[in-house]
């Protein structure tokens, strides 16, 4: 495919903003600290799209420079301050804006066959945002406010930047009160002393759609033998995460005694006491893990794996989050808890590949309906899923109750995973 860059510039906030160093919380500086991409595709409609492409670009640039006044940390720069720690310099240096043209059709970019009519005048908007500065909810807050400004409306919810509500820059308060398995070394394949070999194996990604009926069938299976001791029926997230875990164990052909972990991303906004302020703009995500053996996950009913997921989630209280923050504050160096090093081809940082997984849920996030003034998108693309064990679960764009699983596994395992994933639903 051919892409021609028309222009590239640095866009700065169009009014004076606050400047100075912004202390980051421990949750900002662990886990994913790379840039996360998203992409939205739009097609022309005669009823609401009469501007030439240059006007569209001008509107996007103007609205972006205006929304950056309110979201000024995004126009700053991150700095390493030693020992695997970062600080954000709010200096209004701006963001890079690139506009480009392509003669390609939408299907040239991947499996978008249902949109084969998309060419000649359509456009897409792609963003990469630093996961140090924002998590998924904060990223979508920014994008939705940008769209609101582009439509000529006023800002909806103002962002709240003060990380002191997550004790940024402060000392430990009560020490580590819990055993935080999420900070331990993740399980290795039996017989291996490190994950170097697994990190270097070829991977392949797949997107699998699950209908509403299939979701309900899985939930029924998970709840068949469930006691009510730890709450009501298992949720679709608990059920599907358990199903993915079991399917991966089968596809990877683990030994029954193989230890395996499932990473779960927990939003702490409403779990903290008091809850974080509305519009909190930063990272409020703590990755925790459920641990089991492949043999018992596969041999026992789906509800067993679902219970492991639920137990890991229910453990995350305000006290648990504060204990995790204290644990990080007491570390001399945070490097081994950061995943940026996987991109650099080193063996440092957490690795959720074989025999483990990390499933990120966007089921409750408002990822669709982004209207910059020319109608809503026809397709929204996920962030990159390119490391063994990475997975995303999102609602389908069709709004029919179906879901989409995007997952990356070793190339030798992906076809078997697809087989078991659907076979066990029937």
Q: Per-residue pLDDT tens for 184-223?
A: 999 999 999 999 999 999 999 999 999 999 999 999 999 9
| Highest mean pLDDT pick, 35-44, 95-104, 311-320 | 311-320
pLDDT at 119: 53
Residue 332 pLDDT level (bands cut at 50, 70, 90): very high
Residue 50 pLDDT level (bands cut at 50, 70, 90): low
Backbone angles phi, psi at 169, to 5 degrees: 80, -5
For the stretch 265-285, pLDDT in tens is: 999 999 999 999 999 999 999
Residue 91 pLDDT level (bands cut at 50, 70, 90): very high
Rounded to whole angstroms, the Cα distance separating 22 from 396 reads: 37
Residue 116 pLDDT level (bands cut at 50, 70, 90): very low
The set of catalytic residues is 131, 371
Average pLDDT, the chain: 90
228 or 325: which carries more pLDDT confidence?
325
User: In sequence order, what are the residues at sequence separation of 6 or more whose Cβ sits closer than 8 angstroms to the Cβ of residue 314?
Assistant: 230, 231
Task: Tell me the CA distances in angstroms from 128 to 39, 148, 198, 320, one per residue in order.
Answer: 9, 19, 28, 31
Residue 420 pLDDT level (bands cut at 50, 70, 90): very high
| Highest mean pLDDT pick, 5-14, 47-56, 255-264 | 255-264
pLDDT at 25: 97
Q: Would you say residue 146 has pLDDT above 70? A: yes
Q: Would you say residue 289 has pLDDT above 70? A: yes
pTM score, whole prediction: 0.92
Q: Would you say residue 49 has pLDDT above 60? A: no
Alpha helices in 1-135 (DSSP H): 53-70
The alpha carbon torsion through 201, 205, 211, 217 (nearest 10 deg) reads: 0
Residue 142 pLDDT level (bands cut at 50, 70, 90): very high
Provide the terminal-to-terminal Cα distance of the chain, rounded to the nearest Å. 39
Rounded to whole angstroms, the Cα distance separating 306 from 410 reads: 24
pLDDT at 398: 87
pLDDT at 117: 44
pLDDT at 254: 98
3-state secondary structure of 140: helix
Q: Would you say residue 341 has pLDDT above 80? A: no
Given a contact cutoff of 8 angstroms between Cβ atoms, the answer to whether 368 and 297 are in contact is no
The closest alpha carbon to 53, from 19, 110, 100, belongs to 100
**What's the whole-number mean pLDDT along residues 67-95?**
97
Residue 344 pLDDT level (bands cut at 50, 70, 90): low
The closest alpha carbon to 24, from 120, 165, 177, 235, belongs to 165
3-state secondary structure of 95: strand
Q: What is the CA radius of gyration of the chain?
A: 22
Rounded to whole angstroms, the Cα distance separating 233 from 212 reads: 17
pLDDT at 51: 59
| Segment among 58-62, 95-99, 309-313, 378-382 with least mean pLDDT | 378-382
Rounded to whole angstroms, the Cα distance separating 130 from 97 reads: 15
| Residue in the structure block whose two tokens are 């164990």 | 249
**What's the whole-number mean pLDDT along residues 88-108?**
86
**What's the whole-number mean pLDDT along residues 404-408?**
95
């Amino acid at each position: 495919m051919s892409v021609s860059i028309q222009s590239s510039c640095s866009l700065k906030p169009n009014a004076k903003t606050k400047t100075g160093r912004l202390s980051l919380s421990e949750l900002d500086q662990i886990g994913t600290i790379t840039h996360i991409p998203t992409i939205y595709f739009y097609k022309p409609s005669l009823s609401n799209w009469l501007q030439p492409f240059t006007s569209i670009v001008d509107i996007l640039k103007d609205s972006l420079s205006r929304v950056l006044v309110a979201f000024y940390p995004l126009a700053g720069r991150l700095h390493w301050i030693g020992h695997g720690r970062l600080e954000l310099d709010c200096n209004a240096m701006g963001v890079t804006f690139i506009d480009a043209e392509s003669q390609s059709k939408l299907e040239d970019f991947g499996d978008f066959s249902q949109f084969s009519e998309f060419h000649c005048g359509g456009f897409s908007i792609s963003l990469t945002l630093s996961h140090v500065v924002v998590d998924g909810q904060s990223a979508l807050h920014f994008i939705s406010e940008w769209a609101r400004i582009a439509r000529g409306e006023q800002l909806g919810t103002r962002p709240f930047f003060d990380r002191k509500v997550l004790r940024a820059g402060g000392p430990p308060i009560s020490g580590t009160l819990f055993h935080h398995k999420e900070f331990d070394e993740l399980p290795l394949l039996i017989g291996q002393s490190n994950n170097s070999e697994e990190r270097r194996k070829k991977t392949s990604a797949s997107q699998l759609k699950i209908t509403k009926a299939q979701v309900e069938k899985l939930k029924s299976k998970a709840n068949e033998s469930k006691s009510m001791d730890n709450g009501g029926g298992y949720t679709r997230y608990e059920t599907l995460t358990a199903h993915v875990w079991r399917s991966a164990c089968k596809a990877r052909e683990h030994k029954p005694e193989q230890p395996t972990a499932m990473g779960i991303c927990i939003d702490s906004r409403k779990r903290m006491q008091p809850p974080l302020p509305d519009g909190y703009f930063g990272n409020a995500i703590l990755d925790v893990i459920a641990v089991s053996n492949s043999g018992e996950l596969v041999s026992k009913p789906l509800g067993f794996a679902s219970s492991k997921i639920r137990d890991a989630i229910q453990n995350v209280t305000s006290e648990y989050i504060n204990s995790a923050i204290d644990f990080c504050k007491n570390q001399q160096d945070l490097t081994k808890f950061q995943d940026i090093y996987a991109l650099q081809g080193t063996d440092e940082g957490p690795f959720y590949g074989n025999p483990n997984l990390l499933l990120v849920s966007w089921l409750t996030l408002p990822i669709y309906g982004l209207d910059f003034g020319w109608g809503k998108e026809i397709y929204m693309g996920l962030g990159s899923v390119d490391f063994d064990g990475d997975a995303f679960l999102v609602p389908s764009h069709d709004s029919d109750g179906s879901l989409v699983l995007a997952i990356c596994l070793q190339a030798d395992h992906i076809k078997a995973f697809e087989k078991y994933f659907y076979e066990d639903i029937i």
